[in-house]
A = this chain, B = another copy of it.
Amino acid sequence: MRILISNDDGIFAEGIYILAKALQSVGEVIVAAPHTERSATGHAITIHHPLRVDKIKFFDTSIEAYSINGTPADCVKLAIEALLKDRKPDIVISGINNGPNLGTDVIYSGTVSAAVEAAIMDITSIAVSMGSTEITQYEDAAQFVCKIAEKIFYHQDLKDTIVNINYPTCSKEEIKGVKVTTLGVRKYENSFVERKDPRGNSYFWISGTVMDLQQNQNSDIIALQNNYISITPIHFDLTHFKTFEKIKEWDFQG
C-alpha cells in the first residue's frame, strides 16, 4: 500500500512526524506538506503564484518528503498529479492535527481539505485530529490510523469518502471505544475582537468561543465529549437534496 501524507500544521509539526513514522509499518510512505502552518485555509488553492517544491530530509527518517509553499489542498493535488504521477498513492492521510476538526468546522479545516482533495481525485482518504490542543503525544492516534488505513485498503469500497477521525486526549484507559458519527453543529459567539492601532485606527481579530448548542446524539461532538474515538464519513457533494424538491415547485415565470 502506498500512502501519501499531508497536513495543515506544516511539514515540521510533531503530528505529521509521528503519523508518518507509524504508517511505515503498513506501507510505503511519502510526505508532501506545506512548508509553514496553513490552518483555517479551507479548500483554498493557489492560482496567483506558482508553487515551489523542496525535497527535504524528514526529521531522523529516510521517508521521501516534499515541502511545498502552498495550501494543504495544493500539496495533495501537486503530489498526486505531478510528483507521484506514475505511482499514485492508494490512500491519502492528513494530520495528525493539533486540535479537533468537528462538526461545521470541517469546512474551514486545512487538514480536512487535504483529504477532500484526494477524494475528488478518486483516492480514499483519512483526516485525523486530536480532540484538544492539550496533547504531549500522538502515538496512540497514529496506531489507530494504521488500523483504519488497512481496513480501507482491504475493503476497497469507500469511493468518494473521507474518513474524518477525532481522537480523544484523555488517557488510553479512559477511552470508551469507537463511534461512527455524523457532523455536529459548531457555532461561535463574540467572534470578533476589535482593537485600535497606535494611530487610533480599528482592526479586528477573528476569535470567539464555541456556543453550547443542542447536538444530535450521533454527532462527532457528543462522541468526543464522552471519550469515544469519533469516525465521521464525509463527502464533497454539497447538493442540498432536501431543498431540491421545494425549489422545483417555485414559479420562475412570476
A residues in contact (CB < 8 Å) with B? 37, 39-48, 50-53, 71, 73-74, 77-78, 81-82, 104, 106-108, 113, 116, 120-121, 147, 151, 155, 157-158, 160-163, 177-178, 180, 182-183, 187, 191-192, 194-195, 201-206, 231-241, 243-244, 246-248, 250, 252
Q: Chain B contacts of A183 at CB under 8 A? A: 237-239
Minimum C-beta distance from A234 to chain B (A)? 4
So how many copies of this chain end up in the complex?
Answer: 2
Q: A45's contact among B40, B46, B106, by CB below 8 Å, is which?
A: B40
B residues near A108, Cβ cutoff 8 Å: 43-45, 73
Contact B106 A42 (CB under 8 A): no
Q: Could you name 20 residue pairs across A and B whose Cβ atoms are closer than 8 Å?
A: A42-B44, A42-B45, A44-B71, A45-B108, A46-B206, A50-B195, A52-B202, A73-B108, A77-B192, A77-B206, A78-B192, A81-B192, A104-B236, A107-B116, A155-B250, A158-B243, A182-B239, A233-B239, A234-B238, A234-B239
